[in-house]
Structure 1
Amino acid sequence: MSNWNTPEPQPPSALGRYRILSPRASVRVSPIQLGGMSIGTEWQGMGEMTKESCFELMDTYYELGGNFIDTASNYQNGTSEELIGEWMERRQNRDQIVVATKFSTPWRQHDASVAQKIHFAGNGTKSLHISVKASLQKLRTDYIDILYCHWYDWDTSVEELMNSLHNLVVAGKVLYLGISDAPAWIVSKANQYALDHGKTPFCIYQGQWSLSKRSFEREIIPMARDLGLALAPWNVLGGGRYRTDAEDKARHEAADGKARSGHTEDGKWERDDGDVKVSAALERVATEVGAKSIQAVAIAYHLHKTPYVFPVIGSRSAANLRRNIEALEITLTEAQIAYLESVLPFDIGFPGWLIGDGIGKHQIIAASAPIDVWPKAKSIKPHAAKLA
């Protein structure tokens, strides 16, 4: 008989300290997602990966307490889903893992046996039906934990999209819904339609966010805070270009696969001036907090900024994964966050510069009288530092 007074067990790492996904989704997940774009054997331009090295990576993540894996129908030409599915089947841990996958991107584009590829892309109901059927087969499962609309196609109405997605939830094939790479107003419109008509709303948003590219902060973060959405940023490490000068030199000398093909998140491998500046700033803060890598500091920055953030971090080795999850042990001061943000210019734009983002005092109202503002929810801070 279990005792409800039993002290909570100590996790193997901070990955094993689970947290609610979002106010709209009570599933408990690890604070950092394992990115599935690097899991697979087809996109060797991202760096050579074998089936064995992919399994080793997932084993390490799982053994450290990780339970949140992100992939997509098109990643590694489908081999990402296939290997994740085979790994879960072999380890017999499917129900312990929260798997997020996506539909919309042309996932049969590489397949010469498919003459007409038009129905294997986009947000429409037929594309959704075909993609989910294939994803369930590749993942060797009868349900998907989180299904994303990978990007908005501008042709599918929010009514068709939300009705079709909701039908999958009702059928038990999908548990939660997410959306990626879409304007804030589309997400707001879609969720309002869902709520007004008894459909399942989105509970998580995935998009590009890094110290170099902060437009995510203009509309997406305020929207997510208001609608109760989790955030799953990609490009957190600048597409792999946040590296110290020493790391950059070593990468070039090693003739890394990425250098040859340029197959990264945004097609760039060489650092530009902005990447160099951000890397130097991250190195300075890493020294201040005693972190072993600048990449861990970059991840920690996002975890500090706002609640319900679950960075999608790809790795190609167990050692690299371990370095990245050090982010969960790093505490940054407000001054350090401000310093990191000062390295590159960022204009919040209109109407943000005029009315703010809803976090602090509204300056126009504050001009009338002294006001106090109820604090918003804050991010979860590390429980204890273990950087030594």
Structure 2
Amino acid sequence: MKYTQLGRTGLKVSRLVLGTMNFGPQTDEAGSHTIMDAALGAGINLFDTANVYGWGENKGRTEEIIGSWFAKGGDRRDKVVLATKVYANMGSDGEAWPNHDRLSALNIRRAVEASLKRLRTDHIDLYQFHHVDRHTPVEEIWQAIDTLIQQGKILYTGSSNFPGWKIAQANETARRLGLYGLVSEQCLYNLAERRAEMEVIPAAQEYGLGVIPWSPLHGGLLGGVIRKEREGGAARSTSGRSADALANTEVRAQIQAYEDLLDKHGLEPGEVALAWLLSRPGVTGPIVGPRTADQLASALRAVELELGEEVLSALDEIFPGPGPSPEAFAW
């Protein structure tokens, strides 16, 4: 496994990040433990989760599964850089209480304690704000985080789904308060969705944040969906923004061109999508969310895949980015 430093920290992390969103909803506890053992055995050391994973009536279940894996011993906890998130309301659906969500000092304190209990650990290495909170003063958020750092309950702080201006606001406020600030940003970024190149990634680079892309296969669209249709197999399910994407004639033509290019070069779509992200400036490592050990094995192959200039140029033609800033903002 290849490693890099997480932004401006001294923390060394793997160039693939194990996402755990499927642990519980899609993969049972035993299967999740198998995947985590395989990931750690392959050298993946950055595990990403969130307090809300498990969803619905099972919020927190994913953290519990990770906690039961840590409890099996074998230095599992010491070998892992553990990342989780705070923001979502953790009350039962339909019974959400005020102050049980967002980034108030009260909820941050409550959420950390609950996550530590579920994860069966005494500290979180990377504590991430899952979304922007437009209602809580930034100073309040940093005061709560500084207290937790002083208590040894968290080590570093990251953001997720922050625009570039919010990254700047958060870190300038931290600087004014004499605090370390954000060290990472999780953002939607892949071949089919490159808007992060306009301001989020430049802001992250300017402030020394590691970039951790989520949805590297864009909900499965970049994983060979048309090929699987043709072969009669079950394509990885798409959801949300990607659910009806292939019904769009232009999108389907774009994905077909992508798969035709990779067929020509004997390359696997999902592996290329990951390898492309690994080649991008500022990227620490994409989050992969395997439901099975086989899916993890495919992701691991991407780390060793070097894309040639011919393929990279062709990918830019199929999925053109916005261009460099500030030119990308010009009409």
**TM-score normalised to structure 2 length:** 0.89
Structure 2: stretches of 5+ with no match in the other structure? none
**Residue of structure 2 aligned with 1:307, choices 279, 282, 293:** 282
Classify 1:57/1:185 alpha carbon distance in 2 versus 1 (closer, same or farther; 3 Å). Answer: same
Structure 1: stretches of 5+ with no match in the other structure? 1-13, 356-388
Distance 1:278 1:328 in 2: 25
Distance 1:198 1:65 in 2: 35
Distance 2:252 2:12 in 1: 36
Match of residue 121 from structure 1 = 101
1:194-205 mapped onto 2 (5 Å cutoff): 194-205=174-185
Larger mean CA deviation between 239-248 and 199-208 belongs to 239-248
Distance 2:283 2:226 in 1: 33
1:130-279 mapped onto 2 (5 Å cutoff): 130-242=110-222, 243-249=224-230, 254=234, 258=237, 264=239, 266=241, 268=243, 271=246, 272-273=248-249, 275-279=251-255
Match of residue 326 from structure 2 = 351
Number of residue pairs matched by the alignment: 323
Q: CA deviation at 1:72?
A: 0.2
Match of residue 63 from structure 1 = 41
RMSD: 2.4
Larger Rg: 1
Q: Does 1:78 align with 2:69?
A: no
Q: Does 1:35 align with 2:19?
A: yes
Q: Which amino acid in the other structure matches residue 69 of structure 2?
A: W
Give secondary structure in 2 for the equivalent of 1:22.
coil
Distance 1:143 1:123 in 2: 19
Distance 1:267 1:117 in 2: 32
Q: CA deviation at 1:327?
A: 1.1
Classify 1:310/1:296 alpha carbon distance in 2 versus 1 (closer, same or farther; 3 Å). Answer: same
Q: Deviations over 1:200-235 (max 9, x none)?
A: 210000010111111100001111111111001111
Q: CA deviation at 1:109?
A: 3.9
Identical aligned pairs, as a percentage? 28
Q: Deviations over 1:321-363 (max 9, x none)?
A: 11112111111233422321221454449732479xxxxxxxx
Classify 1:172/1:269 alpha carbon distance in 2 versus 1 (closer, same or farther; 3 Å). Answer: farther
Classify 1:278/1:301 alpha carbon distance in 2 versus 1 (closer, same or farther; 3 Å). Answer: farther
Q: Does 1:323 align with 2:298?
A: yes
Q: Which amino acid in the other structure matches residue 181 of structure 2?
A: P
Give secondary structure in 2 for the equivalent of 1:37.
coil
Q: CA deviation at 1:267?
A: 6.7
Q: CA deviation at 1:60?
A: 1.1
Q: Which amino acid in the other structure matches residue 66 of structure 1?
A: I
Q: Which amino acid in the other structure matches residue 20 of structure 1?
A: Q
Q: Deviations over 1:92-137 (max 9, x none)?
A: 3101101110000123343x6xx44222211111111111111000
Distance 1:149 1:35 in 2: 16
Distance 2:241 2:329 in 1: 32
